Amino acid sequence: AQTVTQSQPEMSVQEAETVTLSCTYDTSESNYYLFWYKQPPSRQMILVIRQEAYKQQNATENRFSVNFQKAAKSFSLKISDSQLGDTAMYFCAFMNSGYSTLTFGKGTMLLVSP
């Protein structure tokens, strides 16, 4: 079974600054997918970024980028130029190749202040 660990329950950052959220996972599989989801107070879970394990290149989506270290089983999310709207719970999630279901970490609550 896979496990996903997010060691930072809460983080704070000021607007326009950069913040990095940590995630580690454990799996014996070689092919899998990793995701970061954002859940604002509205409860709507929204995909932030997706990474295929077989791709060495780190995924990037506008202000969001990941640092994927497959050997270390690490998948951190970097948010640049933080905005107030980035305030949310962020979940790291794992999906095995050939599956459609997710294993989530416990989440990191990110608060962006003015």
Pick the binder of other proteins from 74, 78, 103, 109 (CB under 8 A). Answer: 103
Q: Which one of the spans 10-18, 19-27, 33-41, 64-72 is the region binding other proteins (CB under 8 A)?
A: 33-41
Candidates 71, 107, 64, 73; CA nearest to 89 is 107
Q: How far is the CB of 16 from other proteins (least distance, A)?
A: 29
Q: How far is the CB of 78 from other proteins (least distance, A)?
A: 20
Residue 33 sits in the site that holds other proteins (CB under 8 A) = yes
DSSP 8-state class, residue 40? -
β-pairing, 10-14 with 108-113? parallel
Q: How far is the CB of 114 from other proteins (least distance, A)?
A: 27
Query: 75 near 66, Cβ under 8 Å?
Result: yes
Pick the binder of other proteins from 12, 47, 61, 83 (CB under 8 A). Answer: 47
Judging by beta carbons within 10 Å of its beta carbon (0-12, 13-18, 19+), is residue 92 exposed, middle or buried?
A: buried
Q: How far is the CB of 88 from other proteins (least distance, A)?
A: 13
**Neighbour count for residue 66 (Cβ, 10 Å):** 25
Please report where in the chains the tokens 């599989």 appear, as a residue: 29
Residue 95 sits in the site that holds other proteins (CB under 8 A) = yes
Residues forming contacts to other proteins in the complex (CB under 8 A) are: 33, 35, 37, 42-47, 50, 52, 91, 95, 97-107
